[in-house]
Amino acid sequence: MEAHAPAAAPPPSPGDAGGLLRAENTTKEFGGLVAVNGVSLEVPRHAIVSLIGPNGAGKTTLFNMLTGLYKPTSGRIFFAGRDITRKRPDVITSLGLARTFQNIRLFGAMSALENVMIGRHSRMRAGLFGSIVRAPWVRREEREVRERAREQLAYVGVRESYFDQLARNLSYGDQRRVEIARALASDPTLLLLDEPTAGMNPRESDALTDFMRKLRDELSLTILLIEHDMRVVMGVSERITVVDHGNKIAEGSPAEVRSNERVIEAYLGRRA
């Protein structure tokens, strides 16, 4: 983290000062329920950051605010120097932020390949008339996107014979992989993974941990993940943010978080 901070004290402008993504005092209320209460979060460029907390702590709600699915009740969110607080999800995606979902949300009746091509939607230009007349550049774009999608599926480790299978017929592990390929298809700079190792055995989790590092290094991605598996969290993250009951209770390196009293209390309960 320190390596990325500028030497001189940066001006407190709503820019790219601290990191790629910055949430400032974001709050989300549903009726009377405060799901996220003034949480601030900073994700430095090229880092892997984890967001952890017990069930119902508000992690996914925070994710949904970052990606534009929910509008925050208050607070502001900056991405790559731009205020994205009330932007639509598709606009945020086109700015370079992509995500996966906790309970995989692939388009079940579309093939694995088509799912990844959908991920490319925001980078494509073909409109209604171009598609109707099948202009040469539209054909070329379509062909290139298809080719890229194949490469991306291969990159995440989906076997070629599954490319044209309907997404809902793929195995759980392959569905997870397709979902990551779909997110990568939009050329993101920041990837949000919502419990990527849910339902995986230790060996698969380890493979995914390695894969996250590979993504970060090869595609120069920044990764923010929600994770429950502490082995993965402690192994992969450079920085951890802990939330509980909608409040941020700790932040820091894995070692710092591990020894934090409030974190232990949130996970294990108060000492008798």
Partner 1 sequence: MSELIAQLTEWRTALERVLPWWWPRALALALLAGGALMPFLVSEAGDFMNASVIALAYVVMALGLNIVVGFAGLLDLGYVAFYAFGAYCVGWFGSGFFFRAHVHVLVSKVASTLPGIHLNFLLILLSAVVITSVAGTIIGLPTLRLRGDYIAIVTLAFGEIIGVTAVNGQDIHLGGGMTLTAGNLGIPAVDPPYFPGIGLFSQLDLRPWYWLIYAVMVLVLVVNLRVRDSRLGRAWIALREDEVAAVSMGIPLVRTKLLAYAIGAAFGGMSGAFLGALYTSVNAGQFAFSFSIFVLAMIIVGGLGSIWGAVVGALALSYTNYYLIPDVLNEVPHKFGLNFNLTQLSFGIYGFLLVLVMVLRPQGLLPERRRRLELTEAVASSETMLEESG
Report d(CA 25, CA 268) in Å as an integer. Answer: 27
Is residue 154 within 8 Å of residue 97, measured between CB atoms? no
10 token code pair: 């940066």
Number of residues located near partner 1, criterion CB under 8 A: 38
In the region spanning residues 94 to 113, those forming contacts with partner 1, defined by CB under 8 A, are 94, 98-99, 101, 105-110
Residue in 62, 117, 249, 263 binding partner 1, rule: CB under 8 A: 117
- Is 69 a residue that touches partner 1 (CB under 8 A)? yes
Judge whether 96 and 183 are in contact, CB under 8 Å: no
The token pair at 249 is 């209770």
Chain centre distance of CA 185 = 13
* Residue 126 C-beta: closest distance to partner 1, Å: 5
Beta strand spans in the chain (E): 21-30, 33-43, 48-52, 74-79, 82-83, 97-99, 190-194, 222-226, 239-244, 247-252
Query: Is 88 one of the binding residues for partner 1 (CB under 8 A)?
Result: yes
Among 1, 17, 118, 234, binds partner 1 (CB under 8 A): 118
Residues from 155 through 194 that contact partner 1 (CB under 8 A): 166, 168-169, 182-183, 186
Contact range with partner 1 by CB under 8 A, out of 5-13, 76-84, 130-138, 262-270: 130-138
Binding site for partner 1 (CB under 8 A): 67, 69, 88-90, 93-94, 98-99, 101, 105-110, 114, 117-119, 121-124, 126-128, 131-132, 134, 138, 142, 166, 168-169, 182-183, 186
